[in-house]
Amino acid sequence: MHKFYTLLVREVRSYFHSPIAYVVLIFFLLVAGVDFYFQVSFMNQRQVQYTVQEAFFNSVFFWFAFVLIFPLITMRLFAEEFKLGTIEPLMTAPVRDWQVVLGKFFGALVFYLVLWIPTLLYFAIFLRITHEPAAHSVGAYLGSYLMLLLLGMFYLSIGCLTSVLTKNQIIAAVISFCTITLLFFLGLVQYILLDVSSATRDLLGYFSAIEHMVTFSRGVIDTRPIVFYVSMTIVLLILTHQAFQSRKWRL
């Protein structure tokens, strides 16, 4: 546990040692801020059926920035260690493979969560200025941020897996970006392919992150996506661990 914590701390620190963290942080917040501003001005001009908070988490703007951050966060995790050769001192120290894998995954998760903290301010500022809450209930906030956590875990674990497979960060980033984009927008297929059977549509809907976000941001906590994302994350981390161990035999 102590070693896991040591690895986790180093991983989180290394984000803030490199300019990547600040670039991602600034540009992500820029997009999120513009998104929030647009949603509020849009709603100022007409009658709508949803709240500011729902609008914020379900806009195209938001999705676009959202899928892009995962490859940026995860691409360096393993690939950089392989490239620099620092994997050698790391793995000749008395640490277990799973400690390294979990240290890196949770390190990325901590950074991802740090990315979201400033967005809480948006709602606080909104409340202060308009004296109106941005959502109907506290549950809506909880639901949205819970969904962000679940999606974050799932997509970061995809990024971990792609990073462990190569020592080239660009390759890791491209593969995880494409995979995450396909998965994220899978739910849209049901609106595009109108001739597919309703069973297929239901199935695709079940995988649709967009649908899940709509539900959760209303404050409806559905357990099915929770089970889905948590179990997928575990599966992907097990695969990452396997791929990481296999490096010994591929050398």
Partner 1 sequence: MIKVENLTKRYAGQSAIKDLNFEVGQGEIMGFLGPNGAGKTTTMRILAGFMPPTSGRATIAGFDVFSQSLQARARLGYMPENVPLYNDMRVNEYLVYRAALKSVPSRRVAERVGDVKELCGLKEVEKQLIGTLSKGYRQRVGLADALLHEPDLLILDEPTIGLDPNQIRQVRELIKNLGKQHTILLSTHILPEVEMTCSRVIIIHKGRIEACDTPDNLLGKIRQAGGVVVEAKTASDNGAEELKKIPGVRNVMTAVDGEWKIFSLRVESGLDVREQIFRLATDRHWAVRELTQRRATLEDVFVELTHPDLV
Binding flag, residue 17, partner 1 (CB under 8 A):
yes
Instruction: Work out whether 242 is an interface residue with partner 1 (CB under 8 A).
Output: no
The closest alpha carbon to 105, from 249, 199, 241, 214, belongs to: 241
**Contact positions with partner 1 (CB under 8 A) in 45-84:** 84
From 44, 92, 197, 198, residue interacting with partner 1 (rule: CB under 8 A):
92
In angstroms, give the least distance from the CB of 1 to partner 1.
12
Q: Measure CA of the first residue to CA of the last residue in the chain; give whole Å.
A: 29
**Residues 32/62, Cβ–Cβ less than 8 Å:** yes
- Residue placing its CB nearer to partner 1 in the complex, 18 or 231: 18
Q: State the minimum distance, in angstroms, from the CB of residue 87 to partner 1.
A: 8
User: Nearest CA to 184 among 30, 63, 13?
Assistant: 63
Nearer to partner 1, 10 or 201 (CB): 10
**83 vs 201, beta carbon nearer partner 1:** 83
The piece of 91-99, 110-118, 181-189, 200-208 that touches partner 1 (CB under 8 A) is 91-99
**Candidates 10-18, 47-55, 190-198, 212-220 — which segment interacts with partner 1 by CB under 8 A?**
10-18
Which two structure tokens, joined as six digits, stand for 156? 């970061």
Total residue length of the chain: 251
CA distance 86 to 92: 10
- 96 touches partner 1 (CB under 8 A): yes
Residue among 84, 81, 108, 111 at smallest CA distance from 95: 81
DSSP 143-212: HHHHHHHHHHHHHHHHHHHHHHT-S-HHHHHHHHHHHHHHHHHGGGHHHH-TTS-HHHHHHHHHH-HHHH
The reply to whether 1 sits near partner 1 by the rule CB under 8 A is no
Least distance between partner 1 and beta carbon 165 (Å):
18
Among 29, 40, 43, 91, binds partner 1 (CB under 8 A): 91
> Do residues 180 and 70 make contact, with C-beta atoms less than 8 angstroms apart?
yes
Q: Which of 64, 86, 178, 193 binds partner 1 (CB under 8 A)?
A: 86
In the region spanning residues 98 to 127, those forming contacts with partner 1, defined by CB under 8 A, are none
Q: Least distance to partner 1 from the beta carbon of 56, Å?
A: 34
Question: Please, what is the angle between helix 138-164 and helix 169-185, to 10°?
Answer: 140
Question: Within 10 A of 131 (CB to CB), how many other CB atoms are there?
Answer: 7
30, 88, 113, 170: which one contacts partner 1 (CB under 8 A)?
Answer: 88
* Positions that interact with partner 1 (CB under 8 A): 2-3, 6-7, 9-10, 14, 17-18, 84-96, 248-249, 251
